[in-house]
Structure 1
Amino acid sequence: MIPVVLAVALVPLMMTPSRLREQEEFDAAMGRIANSVVEFVQGISVVKAFGGSERAHRRFRTAADDFVGIFSRWVRGMSLVAAGMQLALSPPFVLLVVLIGGAALITSGGMAPADLLPFLLLGLGLTAPVAALGHGFDDMQAARRAVGRIKEVLQVPPLPEPAHPVAPQGHRVELRAVRFGYDADHEVLRGIDLVLEPGTVTAVAGPSGSGKSTLVQLLPRFFDPSHGAVVLGGVDLREIGSRELYRLVSFVFQDVRLLRASVADNIALSVPHAGRDDVVRAARLANIHDRILELPRGYDTVIGEEAGLSGGEAQRISLARALLADTPVLVLDEATSFADPQTEQAVRRALAALEGDRTILVIAHRLETVADADTVVMLENGSVVERGSPAELLARGGKFATFWRSHRSVAADDAVLRGEEPR
């Protein structure tokens, strides 16, 4: 047992603070090199198209060199301890210890020579299982570090649920002096005051980085404002239970994520009990029904396994999902940004037919979407700089008019001023 005791006695030397720091650095370096590989592979088409392969490969080499340096330091720190454990459990060392102990017992008359043979066999058979336990210990340490990283994610506090949820009365949406920043040093939204009336379409326009997408994500309560309040039906969103909120608010974002499930299940995600007729109706309204019928098994086709969809098709599936939910508040982050002009017109007509008493908020990247809105809110640097109907804002000749004219012709401006559909 002396070799086993010696090997176990060396284990604490692998758990010193410096060794643990080196192990954390090793894990971080592994993560960086994995990220650089994934980034390079996923962006290979863009990298090649713009001649950036050398720069991308240089980043990978930098991550690899960094990993090699950290790995070398980690190995040097562990080498003496690991070598001592390997030596203590090596068959020659075990045989030597057993022979020395056995010879001492035999010469003192405490053991017959024939009795030494079982201990020699047992000693040789003992080393392999103990060495395997050592490798298992390494795996357990890696698992412990992985669990620690998972705990860090799980310990991020979720948005608090109200202790006594309040049901909103109606679906009028108000943003009252809303301020928000992803970190304390930089505010993305600065004092937003906005009212979305039922039965109207409000379009939010503005240059990139003005805070449009951040504004959208406050309404389904993906974040809470740092100051001010988002109010639905006279109730602060923080006082509405999440289940009730998502029965009232549906959303379609530009970056669509579909599940590896059937087309019908993807559309019925928010209404699992919906019948096939309801799913088909929503798909027709989103102008995706005919494309679904072309898939191998129609609405039962599993997305990602039996067929793939283009960006515009995936967006229309997401739009059908929102239309099936039939919530009184609908948030669209340019739900037709990937669509062709014919599809976009069909979807816009469907939304127009569905408006009724629905409150619709649209983040507009296309000016055709802006022209269909009842109210346009112009954002700049996280603040509202103008608001009004498209015709009013164009006639005013302010920042929205400048933004519009940078994308459209004078003929389109005249059409909007006359109340006609822009072409």
Structure 2
Amino acid sequence: MSQEARESFFAPVRGSLAAIVVLSLIGAVSSVVPFVAIVELARTLLPALSGASVDAGRVWVIVLVAVIALFVSAGTAFGAGAVGHFADARLQLSLRQRIVRHLQRLPLGWFDQRSSGTVRKLVESDVTALHQLVAHTIQELLTALAVPVIGLAYLFAVQWQMALAALLPLVVAMILFPVLMRGSEEKYRQYDAATAALAGATVEFVQGIAVVKRFGQLGRSHRRYRDATTRYVRFVGEWTAETAVAFTIIEVLTSPVVVLVWLLAAGYWLVSSGAATPIDVLPGLLLGLGLTAPLMKLGSSGQFLRNATKAQQSLAAFFALPPVSQPDRPISPAGHDISLAEVSFGYDPDHRVLHEIAAACAPGTVTALVGASGSGKSTLARLLPRFYDVDAGRVAIGAADVRQIAGSELYRTVGFVFQDVQLLRTSLRDNIRLTRPDATDAEVEAAAKAAQIHDRILRFPRGYDAVVGEDANLSGGEAQRVTIARALLADTPILVLDEATAFADPDSEAAIQRALSTLAADRTVLVIAHRLHTITGADQILVLDHGRLVERGSHDELVAAGGRYAGMWADYQRNHARSLPEGAAS
């Protein structure tokens, strides 16, 4: 992540981050002062043991300074924490707003290739993971570095031998830590993979448990979950075993008890050898104990820091995605005809999906796209509403290149109903008027009636106010008819239908077909279907094969031509007849 991107990333809270730095440094200094005050107080009061007078004024000054330092230390710690959490809240708000703005500018194809979980991870998980980075890490990092540095500086100033003794546990820990972290990058990658595999197996097992129990396959379904769990446990156990020795040594050497014993031994040796007096070793005993704790606390936050860093990288990569281009001088389409001029497209430079396709769709006609799976039908249909932009050639509406039409006007012109139904967890009424939030209840109900879903909605206890996923549970065909009602309400003059009946049962398919007939009336329609009987009445049929347009014409013309479409139609009729009950075809 570049320095410029990082600065932009944290720009909304830059002032707060500076305040956290200042408060943390003040807090680190003030946290050492009470220990220094104890030493100086001991130096001042020690002569009283031999009957000498004590400077009472100096004693009270030392006590006052210690008390003030304690309050400053507590106050700055609280202040840095408060500023960090407020900054975290502002940063999360800023990032979520920025994510939403960027989502609005991305091409629709980005969503087509990703699940809702991807967006949820960005908006929720990644943004939340930065909490540790902003609210805690800066303060902890500065404290972990500043306290030992200040403490050691004071120790070297008053008794350098005890300073070296206090430094030794830190040096040993820093030597062993690289051993502990050896190969950690690869291990973390394996850990992420094991975690993802376990999560996927768990979701699959839970979601499919009803089906597998019904068909007596519980053992097979459970086996994948059990195997994923076993692999995860084995990996974690092996990794723990590999690092246990080094981790235990570091923990023991930096523990307060071991450090205290070591410092007492060093102090005793210095005093017994005459190199120092008991009062000289006191600073080392007091401050030496506080050198390792901040660093160990920071080490324990390593996983949180790693998650925050990964989230930051994920968000940075998301913000680096190029938005869909917007015209500087948008133009309006002069009509509702569609033209494809030598259109070529590929999802990546090395793999072209569509090759030099040229076709035209007259206003008010139905054009069907057919072909084998992978022939490019869906890709071609998605070029019209700019899910993707062509690599070469031109897609135009009313002589206007779709790339030169303003986004808002393009989606007022082109509507689409795809087989992958998307309903929001809100009321059925709001789901239908998603494309027209200002639509009246009467208009919503009229669209639902035309989509053959009105009567089904009224059977819910709350009718149109029933919430999808709560008190409105719809079948696939019913959900499809809700999206058709949404498209009817939008009333766009051009419509793209991508296998709208692919997964519908016969009853739902009949209702969907009636709804689609209403929807397609007087519109320019581009439709994709594997069920060839649904498009026999299309004005023209475009036959695709490996991304190339190989035939065009009406159903009767193509059947008579005896080409690829005629073979597809013959195969379809044979398969359809085979699937009918005996005697039904007569």
Identity, in percent, stands at 47
Cα offset, 1:377, TM superposition: 1.3
When the two chains are superposed, the root-mean-square deviation of aligned CA atoms in Å is: 3.8
Bigger mean CA offset, 332-341 vs 355-364: 332-341
Q: How big is each residue's C-alpha offset from its partner over 1:165-191, in whole Å with a ceiling of 9 and x where there is no partner?
A: 222222211111112222333332222
Q: Which amino acid aligns with 1:393?
A: L
Q: 1:194 aligns with which of 359, 365, 369?
A: 359
Cα offset, 1:265, TM superposition: 1.2
Bigger mean CA offset, 293-302 vs 92-101: 92-101
- Cross-structure match for 1:418: none
- Cross-structure match for 2:437: 272
- Cross-structure match for 1:171: 336
Greater C-alpha radius of gyration: 2
CA contact (8 A) 2:423 2:479 kept: yes
Bigger mean CA offset, 294-303 vs 42-51: 42-51
Q: Aligned ranges for residues 201-240 of structure 1 at < 5 Å?
A: 201-240=366-405
- Cross-structure match for 1:254: 419
Cα offset, 1:347, TM superposition: 4.1
CA distance in 2, matches of 1:10, 1:260: 54
CA distance in 1, matches of 2:216, 2:343: 43
CA distance in 1, matches of 2:310, 2:173: 21
SS in structure 2 at match of 1:103? helix
CA contact (8 A) 1:205 1:370 kept: no
SS in structure 1 at match of 2:343? strand
State whether structure 2 residue 486 is matched by structure 1 residue 325: no
CA contact (8 A) 1:13 1:81 kept: no
SS in structure 1 at match of 2:573? coil
CA distance in 2, matches of 1:275, 1:7: 74
TM-score by structure 2 length? Answer: 0.61
State whether structure 2 residue 526 is matched by structure 1 residue 361: yes
- Cross-structure match for 2:572: 407
State whether structure 2 residue 457 is matched by structure 1 residue 292: yes
Extract unaligned runs of 5+ from structure 2. 1-147, 149-165, 578-584
Q: Which amino acid aligns with 2:265?
A: I
Q: Aligned in 2, Cα 1:11/1:390: closer, same or farther, shift over 3 Å? A: farther
Q: How big is each residue's C-alpha offset from its partner over 1:310-342, in whole Å with a ceiling of 9 and x where there is no partner?
A: 110111111111111111111111223344445
CA contact (8 A) 1:210 1:382 kept: yes
Bigger mean CA offset, 225-234 vs 83-92: 83-92
CA distance in 2, matches of 1:7, 1:240: 66
Bigger mean CA offset, 37-46 vs 364-373: 37-46
Cα offset, 1:289, TM superposition: 0.6
TM-score by structure 1 length? Answer: 0.82
Structure ranking higher on relative contact order (CA contacts 8 Å, 6+ apart): 1
CA contact (8 A) 1:6 1:88 kept: no
CA contact (8 A) 1:172 1:233 kept: yes
Bigger mean CA offset, 347-356 vs 195-204: 347-356
Q: Aligned ranges for residues 1-400 of structure 1 at < 5 Å?
A: 2=166, 5-6=170-171, 9=174, 13=178, 18-39=183-204, 41-42=206-207, 71=236, 74-75=239-240, 78-79=243-244, 81-103=246-268, 110-111=277-278, 131-400=296-565
CA contact (8 A) 2:543 2:550 kept: yes
Q: Aligned in 2, Cα 1:147/1:17: closer, same or farther, shift over 3 Å? A: farther
SS in structure 2 at match of 1:209? coil
- Cross-structure match for 1:416: none
Q: Aligned in 2, Cα 1:9/1:383: closer, same or farther, shift over 3 Å? A: same
Q: Aligned in 2, Cα 1:12/1:175: closer, same or farther, shift over 3 Å? A: farther
Q: Which amino acid aligns with 1:367?
A: L
CA contact (8 A) 1:260 1:302 kept: yes
CA distance in 1, matches of 2:450, 2:563: 36
